[in-house]
Amino acid sequence: MTTIVFLGAGSVVFTRELLTDILGFPELAGARIVLHDIDPERLGTAAALARRVADAYGVEPEVVATQDRRKALPGADFVINTVQVGMYAATRVDFDVPARFGLRQTIGDTIGIGGIFRGLRTFPVLAGIAADMAELCPDAWLLNYTNPMAMNVTYLARVAPRLKVLGLCHSVYWTVRGLCEIVGVPFADVTFDSAGVNHQAWIVRWQREGTDLYPLLDEAITADPELRRRVRVDMYRRLGYYPTETSEHSAEYVPWYLRHDKELARLRIPVGDYLRVSEENLAEYAAARADTGPIDLSRETAEYAPQVVQSMVTGTPRRIVANVVNDGLIGNLPGGFAVEVPTVVDAAGAHPEPAGDLPPQLAAVNRPYVSVGELTVAAAVSADPRLVRQAAMVDPNTAASLTVDEIWDLCDALTAAHGDLLPEGLRG
C-alpha cells in the first residue's frame, strides 16, 4: 500500500484538490492517506473532506489524521509539504512593516523582503521535517509546495543532502495555458520548454508542430494595447522570452517597476495583492468547512504531486517541471542553488534535464534572485544576522526603493515583529 503524508493538510482547499487527483488514479485509490496539521480544526476539516472525496469516487483509502508529525511520517513513501509558517498573521507582518518604510510588494513570498523573512521562519520547520524523515521514512520523497520554493529546496540540500526532494509549482503550466489562449492555439497541440528559477523561469521554446509560436504572440501584443499593460508582456518585449510568473509577482523581482507611480498605473500593478489573496483563502476555507454538498470531482488540470506519485508507483514516465539543485543543469547560473527545469519522473525516481546556458540577458536577470536566496540560506545555516541584512541590500526591489540605513532598520523591525518564528540565532 502506498502511503502519502500531507504536512500542512489544513490548507484544505489545496489538499482537497490534490486528493481529487490522487484518488482519481485507480492505482492509488486504496492508498494510505495521512493528514497532519497543528491546527485541530483545520485538520478535522481536511479529514472530513478526504473522506468525502473518497466517497464521491466510491473508493476506500485509509485516511488517518494526526497533529503529531512524528506519528504521521513512519512508513511514508511520499510526503507532500504545504506548510505555511505563521499563516495570515505572519503574512500581514511581511506587508505591514515594510509598507511603513515605503517599500511596495505585491505577493512577497519568493524573494524581496517578504520572501526573505518567509524563508527564515520556514527553515526551522523544514529542518525538523528533514530530521524526522531521515529517521522515520528515509526512502520517502519530499514533494514541496511551500514558498519561497527555491530558497526552501536550496536550504534542504544544505542541511539534509541525502533527502530526496522535488519542488513543485504550477506557474509554468498556467503560463503556457495563458499564452495559448492569447494566440488561439489549443494547449494540447503545443510543446514547450522552460528554464530558470522558480517564479522567474522563461519559456525558451514554445511550438506547434515544430513552428515557433512567439511570432503569433508578437502579433497579438501589437494588436492589443491592453495586453501591453502587463508587466510580463513588458518584460517579454524587452528580454525576448516570456517569464513564467504572473505580472504582479514578476514586478517585485526586478528594480524597474514598483518604485515608480507611473509604472504602477501603466502596468496596472496591484500593490499588496497577496493580502487580498490571503483573505480570499480564509473565506474559501470557511466555505469548504461549511459545505456539505456533493464533491465536484471535475478538474481543469492535475497538479504535479499526484502525477509524480502515480509515475513513481506505476513506472509511467511523465515529463513535468520541477525545482532541483543546480548541478550543471543551467550552466550560467550558480551551482548549488535551486533551479526550475523539465524533469522526467518514473519508477527510478526523478531525472532533471540539463537546459544548457540561458540566453545571457535571462541569466543576468536571474542572478540577483539567486544572490538573495543564497544569502538568506547562508544566514540561516550560519546563524549570521548580518547576512539577512545583506540579502535585503542586494534584493532588486528593496535596493531600488530604500537607502541602506532604511533596509537595515526594516530588517530590525521585521526581526522584532516575527520574534520566535525566526531561527534562534537570527532573532537579534
Q: Does residue 196 sit in helix, strand or coil?
A: strand
Characterize the bridge pairing of strands 190-197 and 200-208: antiparallel
Known catalytic residue: 170?
yes
Grid cell at residue 322: 520541477
Question: β-strands 141-144, 78-81: how paired?
Answer: parallel
User: If DSSP codes are grouped into helix, strand and coil, which group holds residue 162?
Assistant: coil
In 308-397, beta strands by DSSP E = 318-325, 338-346, 349-352
- From 36, 170, 249, 260, the catalytic residue: 170
∠ CA 192-200-161, rounded to 5°: 95
Helix (H) or strand (E) holding 288: helix 273-290
* Residues ≥6 apart with Cβ < 8 Å to 286: none
Give me the residues paired with residue 64 across strands: 34
User: What is the separation of C-alpha 220 from the centre of its chain, rounded to a whole number of angstroms?
Assistant: 29
Phi, psi values for residue 92, rounded to 5°? -60, -40
- Return d(Cα 75, Cα 61) in angstroms, integer: 16
Give me the active site residues, please: 170
